[in-house]
Chains A and B, each alone.
Chain A
């Protein structure tokens, strides 16, 4: 059996390893557009954060690991056409066109960070750095820039703003919504971050949509907004990513948002063709299908698709959109439904925000938690955290609780260790009214 996987990023590589695990005799071929293997899309942030000393260190997989598992890979291979009737893939490699047949095909082509609405955003001076070569170029450009404009206040944009301000760059951040990180946090939770951003000198332009990016004669770049404009030395695109799948043939059904339609087993409308990662919609926190391009989803979908190659055996459990990061001196994490997003569910939702101490000691740090839950059943639907201390791992506890449909009362019964130096009377992730440092009952 020959399994061809288009795309050797997280989804493709995870699928390849899982296929190897399940089918020791399968021939596995990875086709990767880039000329490097396994680059971590946020590698540049790791570099700026001094977590790595060279961009080359930002790798999640090496050639050696693939070789060891007998996974063949073609770098620099751009797929031109997929013919699902004849099961043939046409691709270009080093300016030569070649063809490849498959028995099973997994499309893990990922996404790209490109705007079709912002005129001029495709030009090179507008930095995107999901790919290794782009990151190298961005690294140089940012080093020689004083003032940088970031378009988009999502995770990429806010992280970049943080790192660049630390590097003493002047930063302007443009966001079309009322507040940054709106997909993950509610407005009431984001206030400390925005406060820190302003204090650190970030020029926040909320409720502003970018219409175009124009090059000036003096190498400067102007970002035109609905009202006014910003001229700076460089521009970083932090907008949402989207799949780019020009090679699909018409038989593979796509949604209106250009994602590939898949069933619970990640099968496309064509037999023996699967799609994973940033190419598909997933069952989201509200249990309806949404687009959640996160690496954890890419990996998990890759594994599930691999398990279903021969026959449908494992369904994909969906995504809670779990994230965790540190920006502007705060650790933030989120999983499941936000209160703002509960708009799209039929359930009646309530929320509760509380600030609790992390340990029993006098100098304990605190964490602000927000719980979003079903008003009737008390089933936990979402959680958000913000703290000066590293509480990131705790979000996974709540993600698991949501996935296993636990209620707030169930959570109180969970058996956690107690050690006064490391914990409180009750676990941090329990919603217990009398533990509130500052009870802040929501109005809903």
Chain B
């Protein structure tokens, strides 16, 4: 599911116009814009005038100039594209349908047509469109209710209130005292630290959960099956005790599904800090699906990069992120694509190379095969988890890239030595992961470049030595690059 699925076609086009202008330094010719949008000039003119009306509310802070030739955008410094999205989303009928459904849990068609001031047929059409996107979450709007597995419904609302609806307003609308008390108690009971950023995430989740806790006849067949492997999990047990104790204070009946839902959430989203998660990792059953997938993927990564092992903290960090990825794949379906997937993949490819991206795809294939039967290129959850694998791989590559120290020790007259040395440094500098400098006998090097066979090898300690045949020759350069690659492995 994408943010634009909450908007009408013409609104998506208008947003695209903004997007294109931002990507192109604020101005774009009509020709290029028409090409990109694939519409007629008249239709573009229409869109532009529609935009002009919409942005009136920004009081000159956003200005759009167009004269039939070029389109220009200027925005005040305190405004970003995000607020423009917000403007469109705030007027979205589909968004209002979801918000209404969350607040009231049930609606009648008349109630909703009156509230939104739209016809019955257009309400049905919008619900139908929404349902086509909710499908990947395994849920649907039917008979005036959100139907599907309870975990999926809450997960969808969570994504919705984090990324689609105005988060700030949502948080402000829900009084915080009891939630603060609940989170504080949770922190104490689970013996964890919840950072402010994670606290906000957890607050949104708990608002949603508490609003739905009393609903009768929740569906949880799938979750119950998934949880079979976690019945004895120590963290699940703690959550269960907490949930029972918390709700025993109110006239609310909870069954074990409530604890299962929180368990899945707390492991799939960054709520625990890495050190707290690590405590759990030491206790959890290593043969349970998520943990064993974490191990398998971690080993695959280490083998792929031919690392013997990762530094301790990096390995812990990797495991932390992998658990989030695998918990999501195991328990959840669907996602809201908050990042432009294709764009990011393209950019990542440029920066990290196609290898990383295709390796990430292999990892995803391995994990989805075991953890979840989720196929199809258009599944947003798979897309988002692929991005996470890529980010993790990039992170590991960066952290593991050891810098190779190269010393240049030319044996020749002072002036030549200086000049040719500088030229060599200049030539070698662009190679990734090397630091080149004039040889300093007090330092340790991985590679020493010289032009004469050293009289005493021991002078260079354990450094590898390459004797240049012809300074600055391409022959030497090829050899040096080969050695650097070898050293890098």
Contact = CB atoms under 8 A, between A and B. Distances in A.
B250 A290 contact: yes
Interface in B312-353: none
B254 A343 contact: no
A209 B251 contact: no
Given A256-B214, A343-B188, A344-B185, A176 B256 contact: yes
B211 to A, nearest CB: 7
Contacts of B246: 344
Contacts of B189: 343
Interface in B215-269: 216, 231, 237, 240-241, 244-246, 248-256
Interface stretch (A159-167, A237-245, A414-422): A237-245
B181 interface: yes
Contacts, number: 75
Given A256-B211, A344-B185, A226 B245 contact: no
A177 B241 contact: yes
A340 B254 CA distance: 19
A241 B252 CA distance: 9
A340 B253 contact: no
Contacts of A257: 214, 250-252
A243 B216 contact: no
Interface string B163-206: 00000000000000010010011001100000000000000000
Contacts of A2: none
Interface residues of B, number: 27
Interface residues of A, number: 36
Given A256-B214, A343-B188, A291 B253 contact: no
Nearest to A343: B185
Nearest to B257: A117
A41 interface: no
Interface in A306-328: none
A442 interface: no
Interface string A237-271: 00111110000000000011111000000000000
A331 interface: no
Given A209-B255, A226-B231, A226-B256, A343 B250 contact: no
Contacts of B248: 182-183, 240
A174 to B, nearest CB: 12
Contacts of B256: 176, 209, 211, 226
A78 interface: no
B24 interface: no
B250 A116 contact: no
Given A207-B237, A343-B189, A242 B181 contact: no
Mostly, the B contact residues are helix
Contact of B251 (A118, A182, A291): A291
Interface in A66-83: none
A124 interface: no
A23 to B, nearest CB: 31
Contacts of A242: 251-253
B215 to A, nearest CB: 9
B253 A117 contact: yes
A284 B181 CA distance: 14
Nearest to A209: B256
B210 interface: yes
Contact of A116 (B181, B240, B249, B253): B253
Interface in A136-151: none
A241 B248 CA distance: 10
A288 B184 CA distance: 14
A241 B211 CA distance: 20
B253 A239 contact: yes
A243 B188 CA distance: 31
Nearest to B210: A256
29 contacts: A116-B216, A118-B255, A176-B240, A177-B241, A177-B244, A177-B245, A182-B244, A207-B237, A226-B256, A240-B248, A241-B251, A242-B252, A242-B253, A255-B250, A256-B213, A256-B252, A257-B214, A257-B251, A258-B251, A281-B250, A281-B251, A284-B249, A288-B181, A341-B245, A343-B189, A344-B185, A344-B246, A344-B249, A346-B184
What are the 5 closest A-B residue pairs judged by CB atoms, nearest first? Answer: A257-B250, A209-B256, A257-B251, A117-B255, A290-B249
Interface of A: 111, 115-118, 176-178, 182-183, 207, 209, 211, 226-227, 239-243, 255-259, 281, 284, 288, 290-291, 293, 340-341, 343-344, 346
Given A211-B255, A242-B252, A290-B250, 4 more contacts: A117-B253, A239-B253, A257-B250, A344-B249
